Structure 1
Amino acid sequence: MTIEARTLLPIAEQAVSIARDIIRTQVPGAITAKGDRDMATEVDYAVEHAVREFLTQETPEIGFLGEEEGISRTGDGLMWALDPLDGTANFLHGIPLCAVSLGLVSNDMPTLGVIDLPFLDIRYTAAEGIGAQANRSPIQVSDARDLETTIVAIGDYAVGEHAQERNRPRLTITQELAARVQRIRMFGSAAIDLAWVAQGRIDATIMLSNNPWDTAAGVTIAREAGASVIDIDGSPHSMAAQATIAASPKLVAPLIELIAEAHKVARHSPSTAE
């Protein structure tokens, strides 16, 4: 199926507006446990149901993947990827750093993104080839060149099974960054991390994960704003990547070097469980 992503941007924005209204007007409601220290609220499910229903009506030929209920419809090479409420823990604690994230993926490559921050009144949009915007104004990645002057966001630490082992490289990267960069930030939302790289509010983000609902929208927005978005080995990012690293282009080389060194240190560090 061949559809230009830009033609679907108005539909994606309508879908996200539906989600925004639900988040702003409904209380969290009952909490459903999803594993160790992970949860979803009634709002997460309400948003996913409403957006899925809308997109099924508007684009029945495109597949749909939601964080809470998985793939509910397959498409011919195209799929919507929705995180109905990225930053649920923040939402539950009254922290306004949460977002709706809706991306379009074409054969493992994100091509469109809409991210809305309901409590900060800002919306980020992008589609392949047309640039990125925040509240209809063009945005651009920062021109940062040296790690020493940068603010770098990191993704949440792992929880659940094998969390200790999975967190070894994360903690080592944090330690290496602490010795090099101006500041480290953990906002608790992959969508916000990527959108703020795109806007130049931060200079880079490092996430050792790559769930399509978390990253599809933000990767498109960051790329269209001029960021380099790569996998952990420096190769171009796709939905099949192991990690999601977005940065001002001139920071890519030193970041890859830092991450590689951190992984080397983590591999040779004795486990605290031993």
Structure 2
Amino acid sequence: MRPSTHFLLTRRAARISDAPASLLPVALKAAEITSDLVRTRVPGLLTAKGDRDMATEVDYAVECAVRDYLKERTPNIAILGEEEGITGDTTSDLLWAVDPVDGTANFVRGIPLCGFSLGLIERGRPVVGVIDLPFLSTRYHAAQHTGAYVGDRRIQASMTTDLKDAIVAIGDYAVGDGSEAKNPIRIALTERLAANVQRVRMLGSAPIDLAWVAEGKLDASITLSNKPWDTAAGIIIAREAGTKVTDQDGTDHTSNSVATIATTAPLAEPIEKLICSAKRRGDLNQST
């Protein structure tokens, strides 16, 4: 994939700036490394991580390769990976958040909706993000105050203003411990969305949901969780594209948020109301 003009300018800026955004070239290079690994290897043996949760040999190989690269290029920044946890100086203001293959269930079945996500978090807020979708030959990137891009094309959120015209993605239903308490709300939310929006989509990858909201393919994405390796890169890409990213109660999204909601500005309030209604219904279903 040809480097974008934006990337080349940012690479030159990195030589003269210590700002976190100057680390975008590092994140883009990490994506190049991982894209080749994901495209050229079969998933291999599966490791069970819990009820209906798994990792492939490729997940571990990609995370290992990224960690080695990031340690070499940014030795003073801690790294949080989905498979290997956190390493490095955790007192730093900066943290890399890595998901080697988001959408592992899709990857295992040969469904191309999966990808690599790498975000740089500064004091709880993402400032750099790269999402690479190797089987779609697509790479998204953003740095704070510089815009969001797919390749060398700048992207922006859709102009949809009416809920009935919106295509909305929702995150996977919960599995494992606590899923019986979590899923009534998710199911109630699905019902409300189905009754009010144009279409509902469950793509199986939070980074794809967020990147496609940023690009205007989707009008909103609702993920009722907030794991940094899943969301950090997508949040900064979505924000730089003009998307509003909040917690489930409509407050500005931070690392302490319990959910990750990305919408066009006009849809934020009606989506919040649907989530509140679903929570009431889900809580009622649990108590009966």
Distance across 2 between alignment mates of 1:163 and 1:269: 14
Aligned partner of residue 49 in structure 1, secondary structure:
helix
Q: Deviation at 1:6?
A: 2.2
Equivalent in 154, 177, 197 of residue 193 of structure 2: 177
1:234 corresponds in structure 2 to 250
1:269 corresponds in structure 2 to 285
2:132 corresponds in structure 1 to 116
Structure 2 unaligned segments of length 5 or more: list them: 1-16
- Residues 137-179 of structure 1: CA distance to partner in whole angstroms, max 9, x if unpaired? 0000001111100100000000011211110111000000000
Query: How do 1:8-27 residues align onto structure 2 when only pairs under 5 Å count?
Result: 8-27=23-42
Q: Deviation at 1:43?
A: 0.1
Output the aligned Cα RMSD. 1.1
AA aligned to 2:23 is L
After the TM superposition, list the runs of 4 or more consecutive aligned residues in structure 1 that deviate by more than 4 angstroms: none
AA aligned to 1:268 is L
Q: Deviation at 1:264?
A: 1.2
Distance across 1 between alignment mates of 2:190 and 2:86: 34
Q: Is 1:49 aligned to residue 64 of structure 2?
A: yes
Q: Deviation at 1:102?
A: 0.2
Moved more, 232-241 or 190-199: 232-241
8 Å CA contact retained: 2:80, 2:96: yes
1:221 corresponds in structure 2 to 237
- Residues 17-76 of structure 1: CA distance to partner in whole angstroms, max 9, x if unpaired? 111110011111110000000000000000000000000000001110000010021241
Q: For residues 20 and 231 of structure 1, do their structure 2 counterparts lie closer, same or farther at Cα, with a shift above 3 Å needed?
A: same
Distance across 2 between alignment mates of 1:73 and 1:66: 12
8 Å CA contact retained: 2:116, 2:132: yes
8 Å CA contact retained: 2:184, 2:286: no
Distance across 1 between alignment mates of 2:142 and 2:208: 14
Q: How many residues align?
A: 271
- Residues 164-195 of structure 1: CA distance to partner in whole angstroms, max 9, x if unpaired? 11101110000000000000000000000000
1:83 corresponds in structure 2 to 99
TM-score using structure 2 length: 0.92
AA aligned to 2:230 is D
1:92 corresponds in structure 2 to 108
8 Å CA contact retained: 2:181, 2:286: no
Q: For residues 270 and 109 of structure 1, do their structure 2 counterparts lie closer, same or farther at Cα, with a shift above 3 Å needed?
A: closer
1:28 corresponds in structure 2 to 43
Equivalent in 49, 73, 81 of residue 66 of structure 1: 81
TM-score using structure 1 length: 0.97
Distance across 1 between alignment mates of 2:136 and 2:238: 19
Distance across 1 between alignment mates of 2:222 and 2:18: 31
Distance across 1 between alignment mates of 2:27 and 2:142: 10
2:146 corresponds in structure 1 to 130
Distance across 1 between alignment mates of 2:255 and 2:113: 24
Q: Is 1:161 aligned to residue 177 of structure 2?
A: yes
What percentage of residue pairs aligned between the two structures are identical?
55
Aligned partner of residue 114 in structure 1, secondary structure:
strand
Moved more, 71-80 or 125-134: 71-80
Q: Deviation at 1:3?
A: 4.0
AA aligned to 2:253 is H
Structure 1 unaligned segments of length 5 or more: list them: none
Distance across 1 between alignment mates of 2:158 and 2:205: 20
Aligned partner of residue 60 in structure 2, secondary structure:
helix
AA aligned to 1:252 is A
Q: For residues 130 and 267 of structure 1, do their structure 2 counterparts lie closer, same or farther at Cα, with a shift above 3 Å needed?
A: same
Equivalent in 189, 206, 231 of residue 190 of structure 1: 206
Distance across 2 between alignment mates of 1:70 and 1:123: 25
Aligned partner of residue 27 in structure 2, secondary structure:
helix
AA aligned to 1:72 is T
1:152 corresponds in structure 2 to 168
